[in-house]
Amino acid sequence: MTLMSVTPEPFLDAQAEVVELASDLIRIDTSNFGDGTGPGEAEAAEYVQARLAEVGLASERINCGASNRDAVVVRIPGRDRTRGALLVHGHLDCVPSHPDDWTHPPLAAEIDEDLGVPMLYGRGAVDMKDMDAMILANVRSWARNGVQPERDIVVMYLPDEEAGGQFGSHWMIDNRPDLFEGVTEAVGEVGGFSMTVKDDLRLYLIQVAEKGLGWIRLHATGTTGHGSMLNDDNAVTALCEAVARIGAYKFPVHITPTVRHFLEALSDATGEHFDPDDMEATLAKLGPMARLIGATLTNTANPTMLSAGYKSNVIPGDASAQIDTRFLPGYEDQMLAAIDEMLGDHVRREYVVHDIALETTFDGPSINLMGAALRAEDPHSLAVPYMLSGGTDAKAFSTLGIRCYGFAPLKLPPTLDFGALFHGVDERVPIEALEFGTRVLGRFLRSA
């Protein structure tokens, strides 16, 4: 038996409806502002549950502890129920958007060409209503065609991922541990996308690691007073100096096992040497993927929000800022120590949102089957590991001992700056990539 024949042939009815499903989900506003406002995910959860019910799949809809924060879960029994179950998860929320900045309205789900390729535009097109639709299309197809997967597949649509999952994945593991019974592995977003090396070689980056997440609030205190007076104890000044130091700081490069494996695989594939001691030159060779890979080489701390004062002629007694920090597995303490040195005497820090870094190895049957599913649809593919600079619901699931991967397969145009699409203006996914991903994901899930 060849590797090409390991995975079953895909059902084309799944591919035929995936664009419609993705478009419907994009048109449902699930903007998550991170402060409890916004429409929530209830309408999207209702849509998913209804589409499952259309094909006879009975799902459970669960409120995750806050208004309109709804999840949908269905367990599909496998042939061998003694095996560990596979969790397939997607989040229904997306970040907000400003329509005036977009070429097409972000909730319209319009199709237009870019790079000569038809694209589906809309907020959530790659983060992650594309994969939500791929999953939904495949399980609907299984129900119509009488397919039973090799092991139990737990499909979970979640709210609140874009705000850290307090009312989503973390709520689920704390309040509904029964849903994870027997689950040993999980597959979610931001992995399996292509990086074209040459015409006959595309690397597909399987996510096996994530940086940790720390949204930090800085709080500065000083002496209040009249804006016309001398003041050597200004909270705004102290805060801004600390923010400037942090924003300008360059953290040292650390090559984690996952990133080292990726660079070695890239060197083998291209014949070029990617020197971990000269990452500037290495990144220059990566083209559009440099944005994604570069952020996995160091800890990062980016100032994002400032707040102080209530009147122009009143010096406030306090001021605050927020810093988005992301830390490599094993390097959180080093990051915090560096930040503490930059704060100064009048500024203190606290975590507003905090979640772990994670890393697993790039081996095992599931990794092999992902590679086989990709090769069946793209003979010029090579699966390689990579680390995600952001975070996903895998952080919560990994605390249960579940081995987590990112595998939302997409065959992308070589010049598309994929990293810029996440949370960016004109977020879009190629139609052919969406259909390709549906076929690959279907092959993998049926045989996993």
Residue 1: band (very low, low, confident or very high) from pLDDT cuts 50, 70, 90: very low
**Which of the two residues, 282 and 326, has the higher pLDDT score?**
326
- Strands 85-91 and 183-188 turn out to be parallel
Whether 3 has a pLDDT exceeding 60, the answer reads no
C-alpha dihedral, 285 to 290 to 296 to 299, nearest 10° = 100
**In angstroms, what CA-CA distances link 395 with 355, 388, 400?**
7, 12, 10
**443 is written with which tokens?**
């092959």
pLDDT at 5: 46
> How do residues 316-337 score in pLDDT, each as one tens digit?
999 999 999 999 999 999 999 9
Q: How many whole angstroms separate alpha carbon 88 and alpha carbon 60?
A: 15
Whether 444 has a pLDDT exceeding 70, the answer reads yes
> How do residues 47-84 score in pLDDT, each as one tens digit?
999 999 999 999 999 999 999 999 999 999 999 999 99
pLDDT at 284: 78
408: nearest Cα among 379, 423, 426, 388: 388
> How do residues 339-397 score in pLDDT, each as one tens digit?
999 999 899 999 999 999 999 999 999 999 999 999 999 999 999 999 999 899 999 99
139: nearest Cα among 50, 74, 45, 61: 74
Whether 96 has a pLDDT exceeding 90, the answer reads yes
Residue 4: band (very low, low, confident or very high) from pLDDT cuts 50, 70, 90: very low
pLDDT at 86: 98
**Which of the two residues, 116 and 120, has the higher pLDDT score?**
120
- Tell me the pLDDT of the chain averaged across its residues: 94
Average pLDDT value for residue range 266-271: 82
Q: Can you give the pTM of this predicted structure?
A: 0.92
What are the b/e assignments for 126-135, b being 16+ CB within 10 Å?
A: bbbbbbbbbb
pLDDT at 26: 98
Domains of the chain (ranges, CATH numbers): 3-203+357-447 (3.40.630.10), 210-350 (3.30.70.360)
Query: 236 near 316, Cβ under 8 Å?
Result: yes
Q: How many whole angstroms separate alpha carbon 361 and alpha carbon 28?
A: 37
360: how many CB neighbours lie within 10 A of its CB? 20
> How do residues 158-209 score in pLDDT, each as one tens digit?
999 999 999 999 999 999 999 999 999 999 999 999 999 888 999 999 999 9
Residue 2: band (very low, low, confident or very high) from pLDDT cuts 50, 70, 90: very low
Whether 434 has a pLDDT exceeding 70, the answer reads yes
Query: 419 near 289, Cβ under 8 Å?
Result: yes
> How do residues 209-251 score in pLDDT, each as one tens digit?
999 999 999 999 999 999 999 999 999 999 999 999 999 999 9
Q: Going by C-beta distance under 8 Å and a sequence separation of 6 or more, which residues neighbour residue 126?
A: 410, 418, 421, 422, 427, 428, 429
Query: 25 near 391, Cβ under 8 Å?
Result: no
Query: 386 near 258, Cβ under 8 Å?
Result: yes
